[in-house]
Amino acid sequence: MNAASLSVNLEQIAAGAVEQARAAGATGAECTITQGDEFSVSVRMREIESLKEAGSRAAGIRVLVGQRTGSSYTSDLSPDGIAKMVHAAMDLAKVTTEDPHAGLPEPERLGKLAQDLQLFDENVEKLEAAKRIAMAEEAERAALDFDPRISNSEGAGFSSYSGRRVFANSLGFVGGYRLSSCGLSVSPVAKEGDSMERDYWYSAARAFAKLDSPETVGRKAAERALRRLNPRKPFTQKAPVIFEPRTAQALLGDLFDAVNGSAIYKHASFLTGKLGEKIAADCITIVDDATIPGLFGSTPFDDEGVVSQRTVVVENGVLKNYLLNSYTARKLGMKSTGNASRGITGNAGVGPGNFFLEAGSKSAADILKSIPNGLYVTELIGGGGDTVTGDFSSGAAGLWIENGELAYPVSEITIAGNLKQMLMEIEEVGSDLEFRTSIAAPTLLIREMTISGQ
Amino acid sequence: MSFQDSFFAERFGITEHDLESYLSEALSAGGDYADLYFEYLATNSIGIDEGIVKSATGGVTLGVGVRVLAGERTGYAYSDDLSSDKIRKAARTAACIARGPATIVKTGFEVARQHDLYPMLQTPNEVDLAERVELIKRADRAARAYDSRIFQVQASYADNVRHVMVATSEGRLSFDRQPMARLNVVAFAREGDGSPQHGHAGGGGRVTLDFFINEKTPEHFAKEAARQAIVQLSAKDAPSGEMTVVLGPGWPGILLHEAVGHGLEADFNRKGTSAFSGRIGQQVASPLCTVIDDGTIGSRRGSLNVDDEGMPTQKNVLIENGVLRGYLQDKLSSKLMRAASTGSGRRESYQHIPMPRMTNTYMLAGDADPEEIIRSVPKGLYCATFAGGQVDITSGNFVFSATESYLIEGGRITAPVRGASLVGNGPEALKHVSMVGHDLKLDEGIGTCGKEGQSVPVGVGIPTVKIDRMTVGGTAA
């Protein structure tokens, strides 16, 4: 079956499942179907370690019977499998409670972006296995050959996915889109005396041509592992902290959780009730935008069929909008921002489009120069921010800053603060914003955090 | 059980001859070993929020994974369709890892010896849905009744039954029916206009619904979640820096999971990338510490009759009186390291390649009185509950996050403090253990361990333990 007719076929199955649910007494229904092929290869110490290749499909349905909901899913897309799934969801709807806010999106909000979002690249699918293996081999080789202290490796991997996602609901919405992604990663181990450190670097993209070269990924991974060798444990102190983009991304992830409509209506976020208030430094503008072509967080419509959009969440430090699906919007008396997200079944949650902190004008190097004594965080491990209270505490590793320069590596430390205060104390935002995942941030400088060491 | 009576033979008409022919296909391009992992997973989950049962979801996934080992190489493919054509296609794909003449598959299977750790009186799917709903409604009511400051409650109940069958080219055949159930409660507390706080509790294991009626009731978990939320209302900022830390019994055993467990998984050690590599026989902990990984404890969340490669699980000594004794092996690592199986090969599903993993990891009890341990600390931190943890295998640095802890001042537990991360180094941290209590407790059955993108259920346990030096990541001086 060719690609176009497969899409049509899956859309027909989804619409058929919705129709069956209606026939069985559902007042509303929504069905999601995914189908995809995955490939991954790992190479370690210049030899292939594993090869994996497979395809799978899954369907999920959510039914409304009045104000009650039930959900089910199956990996069996045969007529019998779909019928059983619909039947199971109808049964489950009997045990739930009437929820006055349960429902489908308002019909006028349903729709699809017309533009080509460049979510699918046929070159990902067409790439020969030998080339995929070679990419991983070259990336690891670039790391191993970079420095004699790179003496071991956790391996390098190339992975790819191509598939489609289809959605139909009982308001007449039927839509689908194809997706592809590919990624290249390397995890070298650096060794010197008794010190052994590992780091990693990766590149990921929807289109094969957007992937960084194996050479670039391998060298960067090696540099990162090498600069961690022979770490010290600094004294416990309060000091400025610079988050590089990879760790700033984690902070932004905590902020996403705090503007998620589910946490807001439950009063489970430190940002509940703060719309229109100043919650961050003037230099902070945060946007969620699912309409940018080629990025991981872009989609023509969200997971309940609402057309994707751009939402300004924080503007010059002022909280402008929460991120909502149709349920949380009804709970809060607001409008959905097109952020419905779910696997294939169940009530939709809230997920990011491309959720990012807008770049500033200073380079990371210039920001570094301004710090006489502080921490440059390259890795966060465990812990993180508490959405309810804003308390933040995490393990960390990085480099100590002395007189505006990276002086020596540090590890076995924690950094702590409160997100409410940390947001207000962001003093600099770097110009180095890069979209590597659906949540992205540039280099950030926070005036002061507690660093626990010895 | 004979093969003919097994789930996959009965339900899908799979024969021993089919299994042999799939394995032959998998080894058609050579290779040392092949196996098939059949899985059928039926799940149910329900959730209550704001006193409304808002969600109820159930479903089924099934599939088969085919693996081929050739030296250090692994070829893997899977199918979510159990038709002969699709399984053969997966077998041919997995076979691509090998290059050579076909390897002959042994004919005939022997059904492997295995435990019977979780006899099931009824399968969860037979239990009326209304009974499950009643559990979460009870949890919701109990948490709200605990204290008037509890203003919001979320509870969920999930259970599943997994049927698995593993057939290997060495002629080993095993099957298992694995139940799992878990009840979870989150309670939110607020005092006046103050900022909200939250508490979490949950538990279960390889049990069915009757466990929550007869043993650990919804009220038990609900009160615990509510109690934690209320305690947090009066919590002060956590201290920062190095100090004496006392871990309470039970779930704080996550220390062992992060500090030593992961570092002892054989894959990292075979590759020489773990901070524990090459350290067997060395002192890596205080002589007071004996750490076990045991997959054979009845009904525990981390227990299995057979691991996901068809090997019986066992009780493995990792650290004995402070000396490193052994690693956790899966099939591939034990072949390459010429070590015996430890029954530690696990995978998330048929879509995943197995690897060495923990089961239930705990420290044996010592002889100290827990109260005496507290009295011996002039100034320090007592940690009762944790949220989770993470480790960097190569450097050995680990972090685990306390959600309920208290200051110890003058040998007494005093003020509660806010959540904080604790950090240490695996091969060093347990050397600072100076007292081990006689009160070993296993956790309530809430652990899920993530490694290389695969999640599997695990358990931990520990007695009250005093660690003379550990770095605490709070904000107070």
What is the per-residue pLDDT across A149-208, written as a single tens digit (0 to 9) for each?
999 999 999 999 999 999 999 999 999 999 999 999 999 999 999 999 999 999 999 999
Size of the A and B interface in Cβ pairs below 8 Å: 250
Look at strands B52-70 and A68-74 and give their pairing: parallel
CA-to-CA distance for B61 and B42, rounded, in angstroms? 7
CB of A226 within 8 Å of any CB in chain B? no
For B28, residues 6+ apart whose C-beta sits below 8 A from its C-beta are B91, B92, B95, B102
CA-to-CA distance for B232 and B405, rounded, in angstroms? 9
For B453, residues 6+ apart whose C-beta sits below 8 A from its C-beta are none
Q: pLDDT for B254-276, tens place per residue?
A: 999 999 999 999 999 999 999 99
| Interface probe with A: pick from B12, B43, B392, B451, most Cβ of A within 10 Å | B392
The answer to whether the CB atoms of A49 and B401 lie below 8 A apart is no
| φ, ψ of residue B172 in degrees (nearest 5) | -95, 135
Of residues B59, B73, B471, nearest to A453 (C-beta): B471
DSSP string of B263-314, one letter each residue: GGBHHHHHTT-STTTT-TTSB-S-TT--EEEETTSTT-TT--SB-TTSPBP-
And the tokens for B213?
């009626």
The answer to whether the CB atoms of A391 and B63 lie below 8 A apart is no
Q: How far is B242 from chain A (nearest CA, A)?
A: 6
CA-to-CA distance for B330 and B337, rounded, in angstroms? 10
For A8, residues 6+ apart whose C-beta sits below 8 A from its C-beta are none
Closest listed residue to residue A243, CA positions, set A402, A451, A445, A406: A445
**pLDDT score of A34:** 97
Q: pLDDT for A324-337, tens place per residue?
A: 999 999 999 999 99
| φ, ψ of residue A369 in degrees (nearest 5) | -60, -25
The pLDDT-based confidence of B121 (bands split at 50, 70, 90) is: low
CB of A150 within 8 Å of any CB in chain B? no
CB of B77 within 8 Å of any CB in chain A? yes
**pLDDT score of B114:** 84
- Burial label, A124 (beta-carbon count in 10 A; 0-12, 13-18, 19+): buried
Partners of residue A37 in chain B, C-beta under 8 Å: none
Residue where the block lists tokens 């959900």: A71
Closest listed residue to residue A207, CA positions, set A121, A292, A141, A283: A121
CB of B132 within 8 Å of any CB in chain A? yes
Partners of residue A386 in chain B, C-beta under 8 Å: 419
The answer to whether the CB atoms of B275 and A196 lie below 8 A apart is yes
Q: pLDDT for B388-405, tens place per residue?
A: 899 999 999 999 999 999
Question: pTM for the whole thing?
Answer: 0.95
Count the neighbouring beta carbons within 10 Å of the beta carbon of residue A314.
Answer: 22
* CB contact at 8 A, B477 and B255: no
Partners of residue B399 in chain A, C-beta under 8 Å: 381-383, 394-395, 414
* pLDDT at residue A8 tops 80: no
The residue of chain A nearest to residue B75, with distances taken between CA atoms, is: A51
The answer to whether the CB atoms of B242 and A93 lie below 8 A apart is no
**pLDDT score of B38:** 98
And the tokens for B339?
């070590």
Single-letter amino acid, residue A406: L
The answer to whether the CB atoms of A450 and B474 lie below 8 A apart is yes
Q: What is the largest CA-CA distance in chain A?
A: 72
Name the percent of chain B lying above pLDDT 90.
90
* CB contact at 8 A, B267 and B347: no
Closest listed residue to residue B202, CA positions, set B215, B218, B214, B178: B218
Q: How far is B197 from chain A (nearest CA, A)?
A: 7
**pLDDT score of B105:** 81
**pLDDT score of A176:** 96
CB of B243 within 8 Å of any CB in chain A? no
* CB contact at 8 A, B459 and B473: no
Most confident of A32-41, B2-11, B97-106: A32-41
The answer to whether the CB atoms of A96 and B351 lie below 8 A apart is no
Partners of residue B67 in chain A, C-beta under 8 Å: none
Q: pLDDT for B209-250, tens place per residue?
A: 999 999 999 999 999 999 999 999 999 999 999 999 999 999
Q: pLDDT for A300-328, tens place per residue?
A: 999 999 999 999 999 999 999 999 999 99
Of residues B74, B154, B240, nearest to A450 (C-beta): B240
The answer to whether the CB atoms of B421 and A152 lie below 8 A apart is no
**pLDDT score of B123:** 66
The pLDDT-based confidence of A4 (bands split at 50, 70, 90) is: low
Angle formed at CA A90 by CA A88 and CA A95, multiple of 5 degrees: 95
The residue of chain A nearest to residue B194, with distances taken between CA atoms, is: A389
The answer to whether the CB atoms of A74 and B397 lie below 8 A apart is no
The answer to whether the CB atoms of B197 and A388 lie below 8 A apart is yes
Mean pLDDT across A359-377: 97
Q: pLDDT for B20-42, tens place per residue?
A: 999 999 999 999 999 999 999 99
Partners of residue A224 in chain B, C-beta under 8 Å: none
Among A41-50, B99-108, B426-435, B465-474, where is mean pLDDT lowest?
B99-108
* pLDDT at residue A433 tops 80: yes
- Burial label, A160 (beta-carbon count in 10 A; 0-12, 13-18, 19+): buried
The per-residue pLDDT of chain A, averaged, comes to 96
The answer to whether the CB atoms of B473 and A228 lie below 8 A apart is no
The residue of chain B nearest to residue A235, with distances taken between CA atoms, is: B241
The answer to whether the CB atoms of A413 and B395 lie below 8 A apart is no
Where is pLDDT greater, at B124 or B383?
B383
Count the neighbouring beta carbons within 10 Å of the beta carbon of residue A449.
Answer: 26
**pLDDT score of A5:** 67
Mean pLDDT across A403-425: 97
CB of A386 within 8 Å of any CB in chain B? yes
Partners of residue B152 in chain A, C-beta under 8 Å: 266-268
Of residues B49, B63, B196, nearest to A267 (C-beta): B196
**pLDDT score of A2:** 58
And the tokens for A35?
């189908």
